[in-house]
Every structure is written in C-alpha cells, then in structure tokens.
Amino acid sequence: MERLGSNVPGLISLFVIFLLAAGILAHETTYNVVDFGAKGDGYTDDTQAFVNAWSWICRNSTGPSALLIPAGKTFLLDRIVFQGPCNYAIHLKVDGNLKRINEIWKDKFNSWLLFIRISVLNIYGSGELDGQGTDWWSCKMKNKCPFEAAHNLELLSCTNVQIWGLKLINSPMMHIAVGQSENVYIGGITISTPSDSPNTDGIHIQKSQHVVVTDSVIGTGDDCVSMSDGAVDVSVSNVTCGPGHGISIGSLGIAGTVATASDIYVSNCTFSQTTNGGGSGFARNISFVNIKMNEVYYPIIIDQYYCPHKRCSYKTAAVQVSDVKYLDVAGSSTSKLAITLNCSQTVPCTGITMDNVNLWSADQGQQVQSNCINAKGSAGNKISPAVPCLTTY
C-alpha cells in the first residue's frame, strides 16, 4: 500500500519547519506576560495584559520572540484574538495554567483563544488550558444556549504552526480547531473532558492541508480527531483515543453542500470505549493502519446516510466514498454490528479494501456481525466478521 506518496513533500516540509523553529528558540528575545501587568493569581482578569503583550511583540519585535507564561501561576482569561500577521516568528511558552472566565457569552464568538493570520507560530509548554465548559454543556443539552459554545484554541488562516506538550481540559466545544490553515503539527498533547460532554471534539480539522497529529492521548465526549470538508493530507499516528467517538471523517455534504476530504492516513492508534446524507463531493484515499480497539461501539463504520440531529430528510445524493483501506485492525466491539458499510444506491462506495481485520465481541460467548449495502471492494486474509460484499482475493 502506498503511504500517501502524494503528500510526503508537504509532511517533510512541516518537520523541517519544526526543527528550524527549535533552533530559533535559542536565539530569540523572551518576554514575560507578567511584565505587561498579568497577575496570574487565578482571580484577576488578565485578558488585557495578554492582549497588550501579544500586540507589542507582534508589531514591535525586531526578530523572533517568545512570550513566556510562567509556571506556578493561573491566568484567568476572557476570549482573546491573537491577531497577525506579525513581524517575526512568535513562540508562546505556556508553562503556567490558563483558565477561561466561566460565563455563557451572549454574542457569537466561536473561540476562547483564537490565533488568526499568523505565519510561524510555536505554542508549547507544560501548562494547562481549562475551558470551564460545564455551564455550556448544561445549556446545550437543554437547548438554551444563545450561540454555539466556544473552542478552547483555534487556528484560522495560519501557516507553519506547532502545538505540543500542552494539556487541554473541559472545552465548551472543540479543544483544538484547525481551519483554513497549512503546515500544522500537533504532538505530545493530552486532552481530557467527561464522556458525556456534548460536541467536545479533541482536534477538528477543516479546510486545511498538511496537518500532522501524533503521540497524544485524547479523551472526550465526542470525536477524538475529526476531519471534515477540505481536510487534505492529514496524518494521525500514535494517538490513544477514549472515551469518545473515535477518529472520524464526516459531516460532509450537510444540507446539500459540496464537500471534499482526501489523502488521510491513520496509523498506530488505540481506541477504548468509543461510540460512534444529502450532499455531494468526495472522501477518498483514506487509510486506517495498525488500529487497536478496546470495547468500541461500531469499530468500523461508513455511513452515507448519517444524520446527527435526527431531522434529516432522505436524499439519494451522497458524498462519493472511494479508496478506503482498513489494514491490521483488531479488537473488541460492544455492538453486535462490528462492521457497517451503509452506502448510497446512486453513489455507491468503491475501492473499499480490508486485510487482516479481526473484531470480536466484548461480551464473552457472543458473536459480532457485519452489514454491507452498496459497497464494492476487496477483502484479503483473516477478515472477521466476514464482509460479503467485498471480493476475496
């Protein structure tokens, strides 16, 4: 199997940028947010101090700079826009903890910490980002929120970004959102949110390309890593997911829109206790390799009739799904249907490949089954449960 040969140059350039940024760290000027008036006592609103620090460094620096958020302090912050473009690369060293002001915003603002139009940004450290999302989750489940909840951290129209080493907890909505961005590396992070928290995806990638997610532990109430329209050349590896809804490529073609997702490679990931129509476009060249399942609900599922809000009308149009590979997938299922391929009659799934797929029931003595509608492809050795619509080779 070709391992995303078309996007190797993009991934190589991303790692080169990461190494270059590490070299820059030794030659940059460091500023401390405390010197701009931040208290870090956990009670004082430090928002303006952070805005002032970022604005000064972004506009006035004469070379690469670092903004230090020192350890041993907790900084209480309202929503902040870290606006670019900036003169030079900026490294945000987050060793202290950041905590969102605990209130329901009355106007539409989709992010707590928004980084926009920045080139060469490094966000790293041992600190924690606490979105304090409990009240948001409560109002959302009661359908009383005035607007959608906010993401903990969002990249919008950014290039050459690394996020690594951080811990993110209790986001009102998605913990990290990547939109309209390019060359993004996310690694060594921990995300933790209760399993019943609504729509709290770990990492969401949309309209972005050349994105790497690696070496992380993610437990949420929704998707571990989610990809939607415009996600191109994405690699997810060595990620442990659970609880949550696993790794998904979805919400494509909602409300009749044209959506695309391609060149996605998922490898060496572990899923634990996870759960898991009417548009057009395509989702293609997607691989799941060396995946381990532990008490997963619906381990493998393709559903062109997915309806998250239970108010969808039946439509024959669907996003075209093709060239999807499941290789070396093993583990236990808590659902009777361990494999579901539910594809459109008018736009069937094609090029589905399975090899060395072994799924069994988490309930001793029970058997798992597969369900296959309008899907075409091939099955290699050791496919359990058998998938009858795939041709054995």
Residues 164 and 59 reside in one and the same domain: yes
pTM (2 decimals)? 0.88
52-64 pLDDT, tens digit each = 999 999 999 999 9
Residues 66 and 181 reside in one and the same domain: yes
SS3 135: helix
Confidence of residue 149 (pLDDT cuts 50, 70, 90): confident
Whether residue 43 is contained in a domain is answered as yes
Q: Is the pLDDT of residue 252 over 90?
A: no
**Residue with tokens 């359990």, as numbered in its chain:** 384
- Enclosing domain of residue 340: 264-306+318-393
CA distance 16 to 382: 39
SS3 380: coil
User: Is 264 within 8 Å of 286 (Cβ atoms)?
Assistant: yes
Residues 213 and 275 reside in one and the same domain: no
Residues 172 and 56 reside in one and the same domain: yes
User: Is 179 within 8 Å of 207 (Cβ atoms)?
Assistant: yes
Give the CB-side neighbour count of residue 23, counting CA atoms within 13 A: 6
Q: Is the Cα dihedral 103, 216, 226, 212 positive or negative?
A: positive
Whether residue 313 is contained in a domain is answered as no
Q: Which of 171, 203, 222 is at the close of a domain?
A: 222
Given this model, what pLDDT does residue 280 score?
54
Whether residue 256 is contained in a domain is answered as no
191-217 pLDDT, tens digit each = 999 999 988 999 999 999 999 999 999
CA distance 61 to 29: 9
Query: DSSP label at 243?
Result: S
> Rg for the chain (alpha carbons), in Å?
22
Which uninterrupted H or E stretch holds 68?
strand 65-69
Residues 103 and 182 reside in one and the same domain: yes
Residues 57 and 196 reside in one and the same domain: yes
Q: At CA 320, angle to CA 319 and CA 322, rounded to 5?
A: 140
329-386 pLDDT, tens digit each = 999 999 999 999 988 888 889 999 999 999 999 999 899 999 999 999 999 989 999 9
Q: Which of 172, 196, 222 is at the close of a domain?
A: 222
Q: Is the pLDDT of residue 2 over 50?
A: no
Number of Cβ within 10 Å of residue 148's Cβ equals: 14
CA distance 185 to 166: 13
**105 Cβ contact list (under 8 Å, min separation 6):** 79, 146, 147, 150
Q: Rounded to an integer, what is the distance from CA 230 to the centroid of its chain?
A: 14
Whether residue 251 is contained in a domain is answered as no
Q: Is the pLDDT of residue 161 over 70?
A: yes
Given this model, what pLDDT does residue 144 score?
78
* Mean pLDDT value across the chain: 85
Residues 292 and 171 reside in one and the same domain: no
Given this model, what pLDDT does residue 121 score?
97
Confidence of residue 306 (pLDDT cuts 50, 70, 90): low
Residues 299 and 168 reside in one and the same domain: no
Report phi then psi at 383, rounded to 5.
Answer: -105, 115
Catalytic residues: 245
Residues 23 and 147 reside in one and the same domain: yes
Q: Which residues pair with 130 in a beta bridge?
A: 99, 169
Whether residue 227 is contained in a domain is answered as no
For the domain that residue 14 is a member of, what is the CATH number? 2.160.20.10
CA distance 312 to 322: 24
Whether residue 212 is contained in a domain is answered as yes
Whether residue 239 is contained in a domain is answered as no
Identify the burial level of 109 via C-beta atoms within 10 angstroms of its C-beta, where 0-12 means exposed, 13-18 middle and 19 or more buried: middle
> H helices within the chain, ranges in order?
8-24, 47-60, 134-141
More confident residue, 324 or 148: 324
Whether residue 232 is contained in a domain is answered as no
Confidence of residue 261 (pLDDT cuts 50, 70, 90): low
Report phi then psi at 373, rounded to 5.
Answer: -130, 125
Say whether the peptide bond before residue 9 is cis (omega within 30 degrees of 0).
Answer: no
CA distance 266 to 209: 15
CA distance 393 to 380: 6
User: Is 226 within 8 Å of 204 (Cβ atoms)?
Assistant: yes
Residues 133 and 203 reside in one and the same domain: yes
Enter the tokens of residue 290.
């060396």
CA distance 262 to 230: 8
Ranking 156-160, 175-179, 267-271, 342-346 by mean pLDDT, the lowest is 267-271
Q: Which of 190, 222, 254 is at the close of a domain?
A: 222
Q: For the chain, give the longest Cα–Cα distance.
A: 68
Structural domains counted in the chain = 2
Confidence of residue 228 (pLDDT cuts 50, 70, 90): confident
Report phi then psi at 54, rounded to 5.
Answer: -60, -45
CA distance 308 to 7: 31
Residues 191 and 274 reside in one and the same domain: no
Q: Is the pLDDT of residue 276 over 60?
A: no
- State the distance between the two ends of the chain, measured CA to CA, in whole angstroms: 15
Q: Is the pLDDT of residue 278 over 50?
A: no
Residues 161 and 100 reside in one and the same domain: yes
